Amino acid sequence: MNFRTFAAFVGPSVFMMLLFIAFPLVSVFKQSFYVTQPIYETVEKETCTPGFLTQTCVTEQVSQPMLDDHGEIITQTQFVGLQSYRNVLEPERAWRAISDGSWQVLSTINFWKALRFTLTFTLITLPLVVGCGLGIAILINNAAKTIRGPVIFISLLPFIITPVIGVLSINWLFRGDGILTAMMEWWLNRDIALFAQAWTIELLMMLYRVWHVAPFAAIIFYAGLQTVNQDSLESAVIDGATRWQRLKYIVIPHLMPLIIFVAMIHLMDSYRVFEEIVGFSSQGYVISLQWLTFDYLTPDQAGNRSISRASANSMLTMIGVVILLILPLRRTWRDHKGGH
């Protein structure tokens, strides 16, 4: 393939990646070092109240944003260096809480509270997604050919459903007098409030994520199972290997590249968990790093947004994703080098 043909195929992808990934990333990185604020001016404001004979007037000094000729608020942008990162991390307060062993104080800092949940959510759901996906793939592979199509269709349904709709469905099943909550209350003969504490909300979020993503892993693993060397499996059966031994020593090593691929996709996706926070309305108990960025971008009562803090939090989130991907990327690189 000559260079012109190669460029024709790769050029559009590179252009789109630069336009929608690289340039916005550079812009966010730059914005994390600058703060844009309105310029305020102090003016005299007279407030009069009606009286019996004469009205009472009070003059006071108030601050209000300056407006330009078109009625727009005048703003100024200042370079603040790492101040936005310090505002997000609150390192002095966090270090003091860690030194004192006061994890409750640490959990009151939004970033560390969000980081704790994000890491817990990511690292717990990862093995569950891989394990459940592999189990579903083996179930599909061992199903009779006459029912294999319907089994695949039913298995993929949770992944086909729009994420927000799926979250709301789980929410409605367990919230208040939901069907599953009512069944558990009848079985246990006691009232249950699954949305009254943080740990039960986290369990429901993890349950939803595994239910939603495991079918994706299953269809990837099912495709990989079609390429397993049948001669090796037959030889293992003849040698007396159990089903578990065949799975451990033949199937799983063969599927390891796909397992790493699914793990990388899941790490990147679950570390940016957002739909579950919104769907379960858990902001009062549980927040994630992605939701924290959204919260910084939400205008306050004065219409101001913390764009610099949101940018700093986004960059910290990206750094966290890169750190989590180091191990699977190293494994992939070693396998690639070993293959050559």
According to the model, what pLDDT value does residue 332 have? 82
- Distance CA(156)–CA(152), nearest Å, equals 6
Could you give the CA distance from residue 75 to residue 331 in angstroms, rounded to a whole number?
A: 49
Report yes or no: 109 and 90 within 8 Å, Cβ to Cβ: yes
pLDDT value of position 75 = 80
**By the 8 A CB rule, do 250 and 228 touch?**
yes
> Whose CA is closest to 212, among 143, 273, 283?
273
Give whole-number Cα distances, 309 to 38, 296, 299, in Å. 16, 7, 13
The average confidence (pLDDT) of the chain is 87
* One pLDDT digit (tens) per residue for the chain, 340 residues: 677 888 888 888 888 888 888 898 999 999 999 988 888 888 888 778 776 667 778 788 887 778 887 777 788 888 989 999 999 999 998 998 888 887 888 888 899 999 999 999 999 999 999 999 999 999 998 888 888 888 888 888 888 888 888 888 888 888 877 888 888 888 888 888 888 888 889 999 999 999 999 999 999 999 999 998 888 888 988 888 888 898 989 999 999 999 999 999 999 999 989 989 988 888 888 999 999 999 998 887 766 788 899 999 999 999 999 999 998 888 888 877 766 5
pLDDT value for 122: 94
pTM: 0.83
106, 98 contact by CB (below 8 A):
yes
Distance, in Å, from the CA atom of 258 to the CA atom of 223, rounded to the nearest integer, reads 10
User: What domains sit in the chain, N to C, each tagged with a CATH number?
Assistant: 106-339 (1.10.3720.10)
Q: Are 45 and 60 in contact (CB under 8 A)?
A: yes
% of the chain surpassing 90 pLDDT: 37
Token pair 């050029």: residue: 11
101 — alpha (psi -120 to 50), left (phi > 0) or beta?
A: left
